Amino acid sequence: MNYFVKRVGFMAITVFAVCALTFFLVNLIPGGTAELIIKHTIVGIEDSVTKEQLEQISSRYNLNDPLYLQFYTWVKKAILTGDIGTSYVFKKPVLYLLALRLPATIQLAGASMVLAAVAGISLGIYSALRENQLSDHILRVATLFGVSMPGFWVALILILIFSLKLKLVPVSGYGNLENLFLPAVALSLHSVAAVMRITRTCMLETMGQEYIMFAKSKGLPMWKIVSRHALKNAMLPIVTVIGFQMGSLLGGAVVIEKIFAWPGIGSLLVDSISARDLPMIQGCVLAIVTMFLVVNFIVDIIYTHLDPRIRYG
């Protein structure tokens, strides 16, 4: 129990640090915040901004206060009332907008993670069992490509092949399974390769252990030795890698969502940054960081179930 309290406390500190960093970094971007807000909300991007408008917006959003005071006010309000601000652009509470966009991102990142886990682990096992045979070499070269190709480029190639040439799935859109296919594949490719590599390495190490030989001497069939004896032992580092991949999936989602017009937090974040919609940026980063922390917390809990020798106290 004590462990959980410590862990949650640590997560809270992480979230706070990330929020502070985001706030000050966004304010480091050249160009006036008030001016950009006006251009995105009142007048057009190309239009000029009047002094009255600037003063009005600056005082409405307290933009003339020192930065630390602005941040302090935001944090105080967030902790006391749970209100993390109102979007300058959409004029709606950030939480409401996040709730609107979150399901799409969870769907995409979740599908990619499942794909990375299932494909990565099974290909990794296959590769390990065929060590140094032709199929193993082919898969290993394939992973090299997988980890080397950037996701956004893979996305464009996939669109070119599957949507434009073969006309199997739509280019973009959101709602049903065929829309999910391309973005999930493009997003997860890197993670599939990473998970596969670690699975292969760990399986090879585990298969050489004495308990595997003893299991063989008991007359167990190969599939049972792999699934029951080897995989559970090899799983610890694999789960760790999958947890860390969540970070790259959420980061990759920012670009992939933009490419596929996927209405998730990633594309919202990109739009908010160009509009200097500070509360919205804060909200998006907060959501992404929280998702990452929660997944890694779950990973740590899975540890104790995988290896009885691990106990948190």
Count of residues interacting with other proteins (CB under 8 A): 22
Phi, then psi, of 307 in degrees rounded to 5: -125, 110
Q: What's the closest the beta carbon of residue 123 comes to other proteins, in angstroms?
A: 21
Q: What's the closest the beta carbon of residue 195 comes to other proteins, in angstroms?
A: 20
For other proteins, give the closer residue by CB, 92 or 216: 216
Q: What's the closest the beta carbon of residue 218 comes to other proteins, in angstroms?
A: 4
Interface pattern 281-310 for other proteins (x via CB under 8 A): -------------------------xxxx-
Q: What's the closest the beta carbon of residue 226 comes to other proteins, in angstroms?
A: 13
Q: What's the closest the beta carbon of residue 159 comes to other proteins, in angstroms?
A: 43
Nearest-angstrom CA–CA distance, 283 and 15:
11
Distances (CA, A) of 168 to 38, 71, 213, 259: 43, 49, 47, 18
Q: What's the closest the beta carbon of residue 225 comes to other proteins, in angstroms?
A: 10
For other proteins, give the closer residue by CB, 86 or 209: 209
For other proteins, give the closer residue by CB, 77 or 224: 224
For other proteins, give the closer residue by CB, 4 or 211: 211
For other proteins, give the closer residue by CB, 92 or 305: 305
**Residues between 193 and 252 that touch other proteins (CB under 8 A):** 208-211, 213-221, 224, 228-229, 232-233
**Residues between 2 and 31 that touch other proteins (CB under 8 A):** none
For other proteins, give the closer residue by CB, 26 or 204: 204
**Residues between 34 and 93 that touch other proteins (CB under 8 A):** none
For other proteins, give the closer residue by CB, 113 or 225: 225
Nearest-angstrom CA–CA distance, 192 and 249:
11
For other proteins, give the closer residue by CB, 84 or 198: 198
Both tokens of residue 116? 């990375």
Q: What's the closest the beta carbon of residue 114 comes to other proteins, in angstroms?
A: 23
Q: What's the closest the beta carbon of residue 310 comes to other proteins, in angstroms?
A: 10
Q: Residue numbers of the site for other proteins (CB under 8 A)? A: 208-211, 213-221, 224, 228-229, 232-233, 306-309
